[in-house]
């Protein structure tokens, strides 16, 4: 079973490697929850099963990755080399005990808190051109079309002739060579 976090899709488009890593952690967290909720297993059997968990598709233990509660951007263009996901994050190693919190904080940083300043600046600039109060009249799909245009237009020969203006010595009657 592959567990998909609701924010996974948005993250996948912007940070595909992080999204894949967090998806693997989600699978591991689900395996942990399954073991802990198994009423047939004794506490020692549960601990033994938890100790045997590896990152999906590998033989690596989670603790062997040496990941801490920090976000490390893929580029220095962001103005920092790492950001603590919670106070003291550089000293908090990722483990099975805190895996869900790490995933939640990482997604929250990438899709909310870490980009809030940029989003507020975009919103302010956009609002000077087109009042945000008018945006409510569009569905998300209509608004995307308004901003981005048709992503895969289906142009016919007639459309090209009707909506383009030949230049640089060419006319509508010019022959293609």
Answer for the pair 140, 48: CB distance below 8 angstroms, yes or no. no
Q: How far, in whole angstroms, is CA 135 from its chain's centroid? A: 24
Q: Which of 73, 58, 7 is CA-nearest to residue 28?
A: 58
What per-residue confidence (pLDDT) applies to 78? Answer: 65
What per-residue confidence (pLDDT) applies to 163? Answer: 84
What per-residue confidence (pLDDT) applies to 131? Answer: 87
What per-residue confidence (pLDDT) applies to 165? Answer: 84
Distance, in Å, from the CA atom of 71 to the CA atom of 109, rounded to the nearest integer, reads 8
What per-residue confidence (pLDDT) applies to 14? Answer: 74
The residue with tokens 């209509």 is 142
User: How many residues in the chain?
Assistant: 177
Whether the predicted model's global pTM rises above the 0.75 cut: no
**Exposed e or buried b per residue across 115-126, where buried means at least 16 C-beta atoms within 10 angstroms of its C-beta:** eeeeeeeeeeee
Q: Which residues in the chain show pLDDT less than 50?
A: 1-4
What per-residue confidence (pLDDT) applies to 1? Answer: 36
Q: Which of 6, 42, 5 is CA-nearest to residue 25?
A: 5
What sign results for the dihedral spanned by CA atoms 57, 93, 90, 14?
Answer: positive
What per-residue confidence (pLDDT) applies to 162? Answer: 84
What per-residue confidence (pLDDT) applies to 177? Answer: 66
């Amino acid at each position: 079973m592959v567990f998909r976090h609701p924010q996974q899709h948005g993250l996948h488009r912007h940070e595909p490697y992080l999204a894949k890593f967090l998806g693997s952690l989600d699978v591991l967290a689900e395996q942990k929850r399954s073991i802990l909720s198994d009423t047939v297993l004794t506490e020692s059997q549960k601990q033994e099963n938890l100790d045997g968990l590896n990152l999906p598709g590998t033989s690596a233990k989670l603790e062997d990755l040496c990941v801490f509660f920090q976000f490390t951007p893929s580029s220095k263009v962001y103005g920092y080399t790492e950001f603590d996901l919670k106070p003291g994050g550089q000293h908090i190693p990722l483990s099975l005990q805190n895996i869900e919190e790490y995933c939640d904080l990482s997604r929250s940083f990438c899709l909310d808190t870490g980009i809030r300043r940029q989003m507020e600046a975009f919103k302010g600039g956009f609002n000077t051109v087109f009042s945000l109060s008018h945006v409510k009249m569009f569905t998300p799909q209509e608004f995307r079309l308004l901003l981005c245009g048709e992503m895969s237009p289906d142009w016919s020969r007639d459309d090209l002739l009707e909506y383009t203006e030949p230049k640089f010595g060419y006319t509508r009657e010019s022959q293609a060579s």
